[in-house]
Structure 1
């Protein structure tokens, strides 16, 4: 099984899962990169997965479905034109042509109906979790974000994290402020800078790595709590309060 990042727009990735014959596209905000890759590699699109309703994740659906009329799996609680198979928490889907079985996780926060797709060893998390960061709260609450991140953190450490934006370097810049004494993060940042200098993606990450370098998954860490205290002038009284302060801080960083 191959999982390929197709760059789109300024910093999106459309993930293409394929077995050298059949392919499934994840969050196709633009149809062109998908259609070009399918044509260049002789692949047949068999399905589409969608995590949430934002245009940079679903904007390519009309053109893609016109060229390839396939089932589209997406969140049941969001109204997305083209979704034929609505999914909710605990549902499972076996990808046509690939046989890969995924379990659906409800992770509202970035949007009210955001979902993620999980199988042993991999996670397609849309805009909920980024490497060294997390998604803005456009429709959800900090409480929902904490629950979503906790669900991800409970997954096996070797689970590969396929998020959909190349935000890693900017997130690491914030991590340096929010978690200043973190040698694992510094090592990872150097690695990511080398990758980007070569034009290569920093993704996927892993759950274990994110728990070491992502301040939004480290709200119990004394170094993060102290950084929040220095920034806000107040010691957060709980991990939730720390997460709230981090998200507000990052919004204007």
Structure 2
């Protein structure tokens, strides 16, 4: 991976950082990475809950991180910048005017005020310029993936192709199993109902549905997930599995003997109307 010297400082890895879950809108999650004093926000679609959380926890905003251009991910940026004139990190090629520090595949940078080094992955599909942020500190693996990978699912293809999304998900699936997956929506139970429809014999999936249902019944978030759990239960990482292919064929969504790429496209199209 290449490093951009102008974005990276020689700061020791921090092990005292936490991630706050900030609910917004109907089912969004905004993320505040903080050390008890300073904080960076990921995908602030709404400024109000972020400002309230900063005040509640006594935090000062030092950076904004964006994954893609949709309004529920960037809508709060102008109001936050009025209070905190901080750098805005985001994708170079996703049409976000507020970005001051554009990022590409292979870049790494240190988040101001936190000493947190993040690597950048380009993950097109949901949008063409979508990026994800990865923390690779040994034993502390984090992924902020916006609307590319969801707990039990993946984002809709508003701009990209099925092949692009499949490749992006493969890139994320290659991360260490203990990587915590901070996606941007509480879609988990809906995703898992679909997953069980296409892979009903997956025992790990049935167990996950039980566990996640209990969390939601207690009004707890199901996110973060982990890459290991997604590999075992997410149909969009498992679309090559014989049972999933057979389900697609049986439902008339895929012709028998179709290429693997067709299976991914058929799976995404089925989820759109499930």
* 2:120 is the alignment partner of 1:98: no
1:1-253 matches, within 5 Å, as 1-120=17-136, 121-232=141-252, 234-235=255-256, 237-253=258-274
Q: Encode CA deviations 1:118-162: one digit per residue, 9 max, x unaligned.
A: 112111000000011000000000110111011011111111100
Per the TM alignment, residue 236 of structure 1 is displaced from its structure 2 partner at its CA by 5.1
Q: Encode CA deviations 1:142-192: one digit per residue, 9 max, x unaligned.
A: 110111011011111111100000000000111111111111011111111
Which TM-score applies when normalising by structure 1? 0.98
For residues 258 and 60 of structure 2, the distance between their equivalents in structure 1, rounded to whole angstroms, comes to 53
Instruction: Tell me, yes or no, if the aligned pair for 1:228 and 1:236 is still in contact at 8 Å.
Output: no
Unaligned 5+ residue runs, structure 2? 1-16
For residues 53 and 136 of structure 1, the distance between their equivalents in structure 2, rounded to whole angstroms, comes to 14
Aligned length: 253
Instruction: Tell me, yes or no, if the aligned pair for 1:128 and 1:134 is still in contact at 8 Å.
Output: yes
Alpha-carbon RMSD = 0.9
Per the TM alignment, residue 72 of structure 1 is displaced from its structure 2 partner at its CA by 0.5
SS at match of 1:86: strand
Which TM-score applies when normalising by structure 2? 0.91
Instruction: Tell me, yes or no, if the aligned pair for 1:236 and 1:242 is still in contact at 8 Å.
Output: no
SS at match of 1:187: helix
SS at match of 1:125: strand
Q: Encode CA deviations 1:65-105: one digit per residue, 9 max, x unaligned.
A: 11111000000002213211111111111011111111110
SS at match of 1:219: coil
Instruction: Tell me, yes or no, if the aligned pair for 1:225 and 1:236 is still in contact at 8 Å.
Output: no
Instruction: Tell me, yes or no, if the aligned pair for 1:22 and 1:45 is still in contact at 8 Å.
Output: yes
Per the TM alignment, residue 237 of structure 1 is displaced from its structure 2 partner at its CA by 2.3
For residues 20 and 245 of structure 2, the distance between their equivalents in structure 1, rounded to whole angstroms, comes to 37
Per the TM alignment, residue 117 of structure 1 is displaced from its structure 2 partner at its CA by 0.5
For residues 236 and 133 of structure 1, the distance between their equivalents in structure 2, rounded to whole angstroms, comes to 24
